[in-house]
Amino acid sequence: MTQAPSTPVTGGANPPAAEAPDLSDGWGEQRGRLRKDLRRLDVLFFLICTLVGLDTIGSVAAQGPQGLTWMAILAVAFFLPYGLLVAELGSSFPVQGGPYVWTRLAFGRLTAGVNQILYWISNPVWVGGSLCIIALSTWEEFFTPLPGLWKYVAGLVFIWGGALTVVQSVRVGKWVPIAGALARIVLLGFFLVSVVVFAVQNGVHTLPAAEFTPTYVGFVALVPVLIFNFVGFELPSSASEEMKNPRRDIPLAILRSGLASLFLYGAPILGILFVLPSEDIGSLGGFIDACKAVFTVYGGSIAADGTVTLTGAGAVFGGIAAAGLIIGLLTSGVAWAMGAHRAQAVACADGAGPAWLGVISEKHGTPVRVNMLSAVLASILFVVALNLTEGDGEKYFAAGLGLTICTTFISYVITFPSLLVLRRKYPDVNRPYSVPGGKAGVWLVTLLSTGFVAFTVVVLIWPGFGVGWFGTQGSPADSLPESFAGQRLAYTLTQVVPLLLFLGVGLLFHVLGAKGRRGRE
């Protein structure tokens, strides 16, 4: 795509050129430090690592067989429209910064900058929250307890290990998502084989057809984690100018990774349901507990009270699987960070934040300063949250995952409608891939994608929204995370207070970016 570096984007009237103009000079000064080292296969593995998050498998399985039914429904109603939307935006506007640039072109710098803060800051919340607590729980379940100070040490090692990986050049850093994707395929594949062996030796729990019937209560409980499982298509677009051929590679990678992720999610969830009684599946430990149970076929036993003891080869395979799970969690955080941090650096260099955060390292070609700031934030959140929840892993997990999803999805509510606006503002831009169905198709995928993420935000802030209305069964209080039972206000505050703080940070960043915008408005 031919750029027009001398024409700044104002977010106002339509530009005279047919092609979307470049960003401001502040980003132009950093662009030359990028390195084109991402190939088609790299983008595919990057997306598999991004989409297949191991931290939410237990949350879906905990809702029983209807989780699979809702997964199938949302694959058509959300996953497909969302993939079509991102495929057009990513291939039509292949500019570094991806979601920030689309929103910037559509709605202007202020809106895009505040929106980008939400998108970026969700990563340290996620890494210091649910990813960290599952990694620690897995370590304690398979290896050794982490008493007192050791839990803090282990969490900080997890956070900073990922941060040091993200800092590396894309030529080196891309191998982390590749390793993460392969770890997922091997781990989940071995788990499924073990489920078959377990079923032959011990039988499996029956899954009555009635339990697959979708309910509104199940939908409200599942829609946040299911849709969170399905997002991440836009992340490679944040590194568009580090790809060999983004116009070709982005749509293809979205198609292939989407199909792979559906299998890599659905099959393990079904395996968990076959192995564990539904009442024994927890959001935090569901996948961990299922792994321990099935690995008893290699050595170990399950006591009458459900306690699992692994011995011999079972203990060895359990340890390997635990290590693979921790690696999978770490690489999830790294893959998201590689995209979100790049978009934040572009935003800051463009004047939507302090210019010093928009600097690209000459040595590594990556936004080192944003990476380090994210690690500091994740560390602070980890320590604070662990103290506020008094070490309660389930409570920490529920609050952290909810805030991560809520923050990310509020940013999507702004980003997704960019498709409609950019179709109108830049009708002559070369679109290697376009959403089928003309204007009606564009409206349909935008409304479906935006509507689902907006609804998810509502049910995260107020669990049980709509339950008991219009004849639906159940009580809204039952939709609260189990660890927050009877504590609606406490849970709501864990979501609303940080969100207001993050919005304040976005506005502060805009003020701090004033110097960089001077003469470029």
149-203 pLDDT tens trace: 888 899 999 999 989 888 888 788 888 888 888 888 888 888 888 888 888 888 7
Domains assigned to the chain: 27-516 (1.20.1740.10)
Phi, psi angle pair for 243, to nearest 5°? -95, 150
- Which helix (DSSP H) or strand (DSSP E) does residue 308 occupy? strand 308-310
CA distance 431 to 99: 17
- pLDDT tens-digit series, residues 92-104: 898 888 899 999 9
Rounded Cα gap, residues 200 and 202, in angstroms: 6
What is the structure's pLDDT at 519? Answer: 46
How is residue 442 written in tokens? 């564009």
pLDDT at residue 285 greater than cutoff 60: no
> pTM value?
0.84
Q: What percent of the chain has pLDDT over 90?
A: 22
Mean of per-residue pLDDT scores for the chain: 82
CB 481 within 8 A of CB 398: yes
* Helix (H/G/I), strand (E/B), else coil: 232: coil
List the one residue out of 39, 117, 34 whose CA is nearest residue 366.
34
Structure confidence at residue 106 as a pLDDT band (50, 70, 90): very high
How far, in Å, CA of 47 to CA of 248, rounded? 15
CB-based burial label for 153 (10 Å; 0-12, 13-18, 19+): exposed
| Mean pLDDT score, 436-445 | 93
Count of beta carbons in the 10 Å neighbourhood of residue 60 = 28
User: Would the pLDDT of 14 be above 70?
Assistant: no
Rounded CA separation 40/119 (Å): 25
Q: Is the dihedral of CA 403, 409, 413, 418 positive or negative?
A: positive
pLDDT, position 418: 95
Taking Cα atoms as reference points, which of 293, 319, 298, 297 lies closest to residue 308? Answer: 293
Taking the C-alpha atoms of residue 235 and residue 237, their distance in angstroms, rounded to an integer, is 5
Encode pLDDT of 107-131 as tens digits.
999 999 999 999 999 999 888 887 8
Greatest C-alpha distance within the chain: 74
Q: Any bridge partners for residue 305, and if so which? A: none
Residues near 473 by Cβ (< 8 Å), separated by ≥ 6? 215, 216, 217
Q: What is the mean pLDDT of residues 273-291?
A: 67
CA dist 235 and 228 (Å) reads 14
